[in-house]
Amino acid sequence: MTDRYASFVQSAAGRALVKRLGLPDPPRLRRHHPGDPLLPGPALLGAATGGRLAEPLAKMLTAAGVELADPAATGQRYGALLFDATGVTDSTELRQLYDFFHPQARAVLPSGRVIVLGTPPRECATPREATAQRALEGLVRSIGKEFGRGSTAQLVYVSRADGPTLAAGTATSLESTLRFLLSGRSAYVSGQVVRVGGGTASAPADWDRPLDGQVVLVTGAARGIGAALAKVLARDGATVVALDIPAAGDALAAVANDIGGTAVQLDLTAPDAPTRLAEHLASRHGRVDVVVHNAGITRDKTLGRMDADRWDQVIDVNLSSQERINDVLLERELIPTGGRIISVSSIAGIAGNRGQTNYATSKAGVIGLVDSLAPTLRERGISVNAVAPGFIETRLTARIPLVVREAGRRMNSLAQGGLPVDVAETIGWLAWPASGAVSGNVVRVCGQSLLGA
């Protein structure tokens, strides 16, 4: 579970060897600690002519305590480069992005951030505008691969519908996403396209406790990513209901006690699990604001060697049980307006994986669940999103044979595996009341893995 190579390259001897032999050089990533500033240095803003977001963006950043750099200054290093590309309406105008980023390619500080804002191609007025806006993806994903030293690059498509409120400075729809992407919370998220728009977002009284007053259910909370999730969500102010199978009861109790949450021992695949869970949540809390479907299993075999039990168990735990639970919680109106459903998928569900037909099917199904539920639940003010982790350092990945494990770890832009806390912070952002305008997204937490890219 520890990446000994990454620790070694951060030593003096390691650094020398890496340089001499041209070995992979995993940078130390900037991770979030409460009270941290959003960025390690000033932000440089740029905008294409006619953009609609530059002004609200500058206002938001200043309010968040980010220092805005003087565009005329030379020789500066930046914590972030942000570019409002919403004014780009034709491919010839993409040159404005080259003009902004080209001189700054070496000016981004370690673990710095690159963020481009665009208009969703589907909302564009002309095919030319849609084409140019779609082109932004290629630029951002390539910057994620080029700039290095723990920096990340993302594209945020902001719905036109949010334009007037953003301009008036009355909407927080974009703010939660900006704060997440700029901060150390998004350490292992890179090369992503996030869509923001619609929905109701409310700013927290304290951005260091963005989940204050929220009741959150985390399944599979006894260990790994689920245990990290319980901790992060409680740190951010949530009351956490931690659920896992009875056999994991001791570990589950330890997690729940540690964070002042409650423990529910329940096998999610039991026929009465949805109703028992609904009754528990109704009687203890009267509602559940955020449901995080994290519990998951693998039962690997190539398809020809896989018995039906392995298939059934994986589909049932990873996908069907989520559907049954959603149905009952929604039917009983236990998830209120402003509620969140967040599922854990996997890059295996995007790229497929040898020996994991069952797992990849279940995890692709989770993406289907998000796609299909998000539009209908938007009407009820409930957002639905998924995260798709790549290689995360847990017991699950520690079981992978050494050579395959080492390859999996390094085959991404950050040249290292992620930590459970990286997945937890990403789920945390999607759970915030301030993220009500983020729905129907699948966000990979994979360091920009080459798999499924």
Ligand X SMILES: NC(=O)c1ccc[n+]([C@@H]2O[C@H](COP(=O)([O-])OP(=O)(O)OC[C@H]3O[C@@H](n4cnc5c(N)ncnc54)[C@H](O)[C@@H]3O)[C@@H](O)[C@H]2O)c1
Catalytic site positions: 359
- The overall longest dimension of the chain from CA atoms, in Å, is 66
Count of chain residues binding ligand X (CB under 6 A): 27
Question: In terms of CB distance, is 84 or 422 closer to ligand X?
Answer: 422
Q: Which of 224, 274, 339, 436 is in the footprint of ligand X by CB under 6 A?
A: 224
Q: What share of the chain is helix, strand, coil (3-state, %, to 5)?
A: 45, 15, 40
Where do the DSSP E strands lie in 129-214? 152-158, 192-196
268 in contact with ligand X (CB under 6 A): yes
222 in contact with ligand X (CB under 6 A): yes
| 128 three-state secondary structure | helix
365 in contact with ligand X (CB under 6 A): no
Q: Which of 51, 118, 191, 220 is in the footprint of ligand X by CB under 6 A?
A: 220
267 in contact with ligand X (CB under 6 A): yes
Q: Is 227 left (phi over 0), alpha (psi -120 to 50) or beta?
A: alpha
Question: In terms of CB distance, is 94 or 248 closer to ligand X?
Answer: 248
346 in contact with ligand X (CB under 6 A): yes
Distance, CA of 372 to CA of 366 (rounded, Å)? 10
Phi, psi at 384, each rounded to 5°: -130, 125
What string of H, E and C letters represents the secondary structure of 183-194? CHHHCCCCCEEE
Measured at the alpha carbon of residue 49, what is the angle toward residues 443 and 145, in degrees to the nearest 5? Answer: 35
Site for ligand X in 382-401 (CB under 6 A): 389, 391-392, 394-397
CB of 312 to ligand X, least distance (A): 12
245 in contact with ligand X (CB under 6 A): yes
Site for ligand X in 280-309 (CB under 6 A): 294-297
Distance, CA of 332 to CA of 325 (rounded, Å)? 11
261 in contact with ligand X (CB under 6 A): no
Site for ligand X in 42-71 (CB under 6 A): none
Stretch that binds ligand X, among 57-65, 161-169, 262-270, 425-433 (CB under 6 A): 262-270
| 406 three-state secondary structure | helix
Q: Which positions from 303 to 342 touch ligand X by CB under 6 A, shown as an x/- string? A: --------------x-------------------------
| C-beta of residue 179 within 8 angstroms of C-beta of residue 405 | no
CB of 310 to ligand X, least distance (A): 14
CB of 225 to ligand X, least distance (A): 4
Tokens of residue 367, six digits: 């993406």
Stretch that binds ligand X, among 56-64, 165-173, 175-183, 222-230 (CB under 6 A): 222-230
Helix axes 321-331, 357-378, angle to 10 degrees: 20
| 361 three-state secondary structure | helix
369 in contact with ligand X (CB under 6 A): no
CB of 298 to ligand X, least distance (A): 7
Site for ligand X in 122-151 (CB under 6 A): none
Residue in 294, 64, 96, 71 with CA at minimum distance from that of residue 177: 64
CB of 423 to ligand X, least distance (A): 7
Distance, CA of 172 to CA of 168 (rounded, Å)? 11
Amino acid (1-letter code) at residue 420: P
Question: Would you tell me which residues interact with ligand X (CB under 6 A)?
Answer: 219-220, 222-226, 244-245, 248, 267-269, 294-297, 317, 344, 346, 389, 391-392, 394-397
